[in-house]
A and B are shown apart, each in its own frame.
Chain A
């Protein structure tokens, strides 16, 4: 049933994990020699290969029913550094490969160099930075050592920050600088936490640390300090509610292809590390106050982001504030998983990852569509969108389907995610988390209906367009939005993939 290349790839076992790490770096090295003129075209086959590699890793993990391991240089963890692909890693690998490939196709027009045209500096910069982001994400997904993960996080940040300022206007430079300052504070706090872990246990390997922390009777004070420092640092990079100030100007000012990557993937990289720290490194600490605080911040983000999105006059800013709100949902999994039985907690993590994928696909599609609308009209004021649905039907359809996926209508991934989260919330009597999710869904519907209201009005007077988007760009945005909308149709066995490596707990009852 599986094609020959897949069968061959499955025989590689742990060695397979090297491929997703290598491909972006190969692209970066080629880019130094080829320049921006050819890198855009060379990067595309690499991205297709990357998707194939991510699929092969997923198939291998699924078939084995256990995580894949690889020890760099053959040295096992106390001495060496290891890589591991479990269910969570596979989800992040697949999502990044998909979104990067879609953005790579879309960006052929804005950042490709036509034969005979003069090459611009932003072209080379964009492709190199996109490959850098991809490389950072793959390392975040597979790394099992706190210091490797630090380097991966820095690679991600240093690639993401210049993406914000690609057009070089003063306001985007200021947004990039503000983003960088928040991110640097986050990195240095994370590093401080890593030092404290090393000072206490003499290792940075997640599995060894988890065994040492789990084996002790009382949690030592440095571990508590390290956990709080690392979490706060990563929250600054993820832009959770009180540390969100940098996100809206940065995501709304970047070129659309960059915004899509930033909103869909980059903030998820640091969220993924928070997940690793709390669920893999010290699951026993999650029961306390920390989980409740993270959940409360998530609720604050859902409400604050939703309300501010309602008030925005510009389409791209609205989508950026919507990202703030959607990130809040991801943090509800901490209190819900902490108070559930093992099966319920697996459901919660699965729901959270499903929401991550669904938001990544929907938001990438919406940012790409919003970018096409802004480029065609020459501006993106929401009140001036009249008639755009007639002028650019496919683009508006992509934006709308992405919006339906965000609202959590059946059969979207967000719908399935919410029903997976709702069960444990009701079972443990914590109705307020469910209420927050419903309120968030209502706010999402409200700010998107405002966009639809303006976009669908004025049907008899379509606006005159400055330029037409290429058909393939519209179709890429549509495909991403459709992917998010149909994610809820995934068979239950595939959802079990997320739980592989989660302390052997089988996925509990599905809705």
Chain B
């Protein structure tokens, strides 16, 4: 099995694991981590594609053995994923502080009835 196939399969496995976690886990922190897992799988795929494209560049005698564009895209993608995680964690922290819960399940704890009536 070549390195490209192996890493490609690893990427697919990471995306699958992350997707399972994002959909099936009730805890928001776990969902955020699962999102990061999917992100890692996608970024790995970027790397695989850079390497594969590099094969063609090297064969053409350019002296380059990896495609630089996916690498540049990954850096932007990492920044975006980092920002997304930061926003999600900030919202979650505030939710725990104000609402006293770390899940998005509909049943609220008895001590904290949901605000549905008229606003004060």
Question: A147-B76, A151-B80, A378-B118 in contact; A180/B91 too (CB < 8 A)?
Answer: yes
What is the bound-complex CA distance between A176 and B32, given in angstroms? 14
A158/B99 in contact, CB under 8 A? no
Query: What is the CB-to-nearest-CB distance from A167 to chain B, in angstroms, rounded to a whole number?
Result: 10
Interface of chain A residues 125 through 181 with chain B (CB within 8 A): 147, 150-151, 154, 158, 161-162, 165, 168-171, 173-174, 176-178, 180-181
Selected from B28, B49, B98, B119, the residue in CB contact (under 8 A) with A198 is B49
Query: What is the CB-to-nearest-CB distance from B107 to chain A, in angstroms, rounded to a whole number?
Result: 12
Q: Which residue from chain B places its CB closest to the CB of A246 in the assembled complex?
A: B104
- Residues on the B chain within 8 Å of A184, using CB: 35, 84, 88
Most chain B CB within a 10 A radius of its CB, from A151, A165, A198: A198
What is the bound-complex CA distance between A427 and B48, given in angstroms? 48
Question: A168-B94, A188-B42 in contact; A181/B115 too (CB < 8 A)?
Answer: no
Selected from A169, A176, A374, A379, the residue in CB contact (under 8 A) with B91 is A176
A161/B22 in contact, CB under 8 A? no
- Residues on the B chain within 8 Å of A187, using CB: 80, 84
- Residues on the B chain within 8 Å of A195, using CB: 42, 45-46, 49, 70
B76/A181 in contact, CB under 8 A? no
Asked if A199 CB lies within 8 Å of chain B CBs, one says yes
What is the bound-complex CA distance between A262 and B88, given in angstroms? 19
B28/A202 in contact, CB under 8 A? no
A185/B114 in contact, CB under 8 A? no
- What string of 1s and 0s marks CB contacts (under 8 Å) between B65-102 and chain A? 00101100100110010011001100110110011110
Interface of chain B residues 1 through 41 with chain A (CB within 8 A): 15, 22, 28, 31-32, 35, 38-39
Asked if B111 CB lies within 8 Å of chain A CBs, one says no
A171/B84 in contact, CB under 8 A? no
Question: A168-B94, A169-B98, A177-B95 in contact; A147/B73 too (CB < 8 A)?
Answer: yes
Q: Which residue from chain B places its CB closest to the CB of A182 in the assembled complex?
A: B22
- Residues on the B chain within 8 Å of A198, using CB: 49, 69-70, 73
Report the interface size class on chain B. 35 or more
Asked if A206 CB lies within 8 Å of chain B CBs, one says no
- What string of 1s and 0s marks CB contacts (under 8 Å) between B39-60 and chain A? 1001001100100110000000
Asked if B62 CB lies within 8 Å of chain A CBs, one says no
Query: What is the CB-to-nearest-CB distance from A77 to chain B, in angstroms, rounded to a whole number?
Result: 13
Query: What is the CB-to-nearest-CB distance from B45 to chain A, in angstroms, rounded to a whole number?
Result: 5
Question: A188-B39, A379-B119 in contact; A174/B95 too (CB < 8 A)?
Answer: yes
- Residues on the B chain within 8 Å of A202, using CB: 53, 67
Query: What is the CB-to-nearest-CB distance from B60 to chain A, in angstroms, rounded to a whole number?
Result: 13
A161/B87 in contact, CB under 8 A? yes
Asked if A191 CB lies within 8 Å of chain B CBs, one says yes
Asked if A192 CB lies within 8 Å of chain B CBs, one says yes
Query: What is the CB-to-nearest-CB distance from B119 to chain A, in angstroms, rounded to a whole number?
Result: 6
- Residues on the A chain within 8 Å of B114, using CB: 171
Selected from B39, B69, B104, B119, the residue in CB contact (under 8 A) with A174 is B104
A177/B91 in contact, CB under 8 A? yes
- Residues on the B chain within 8 Å of A158, using CB: 83-84, 87
Q: Which residue from chain B places its CB closest to the CB of A381 in the assembled complex?
A: B118
What is the bound-complex CA distance between A191 and B100, given in angstroms? 34
B76/A173 in contact, CB under 8 A? no
- Residues on the A chain within 8 Å of B45, using CB: 192, 195, 199
A173/B94 in contact, CB under 8 A? yes
Selected from A180, A191, A378, the residue in CB contact (under 8 A) with B77 is A191
Query: What is the CB-to-nearest-CB distance from B91 to chain A, in angstroms, rounded to a whole number?
Result: 5
Selected from B52, B87, B117, the residue in CB contact (under 8 A) with A162 is B87
Q: Which residue from chain B places its CB closest to the CB of A179 in the assembled complex?
A: B91
Query: What is the CB-to-nearest-CB distance from A124 to chain B, in angstroms, rounded to a whole number?
Result: 16
Q: List 21 A-B contacts (CB under 8 A).
A: A147-B76, A154-B84, A158-B87, A165-B91, A170-B100, A170-B115, A174-B95, A177-B91, A180-B84, A181-B31, A181-B32, A181-B35, A187-B80, A188-B42, A192-B15, A192-B45, A198-B69, A198-B73, A199-B45, A202-B53, A374-B119
Show the binding face of A for B, using Cβ within 8 Å.
147, 150-151, 154, 158, 161-162, 165, 168-171, 173-174, 176-178, 180-181, 184-185, 187-188, 191-192, 195, 198-199, 202, 374, 378-379, 381
Task: Report, nearest first, the 3 A-B pairs whose CB atoms are least far apart.
Answer: A170-B99, A379-B118, A199-B49
Told that A147-B76, A177-B92, A379-B117 touch, could you supply 13 new A-B pairs with CB distance under 8 A? A151-B80, A158-B87, A170-B98, A170-B115, A174-B104, A180-B84, A180-B87, A188-B35, A188-B42, A191-B77, A192-B45, A202-B67, A378-B118
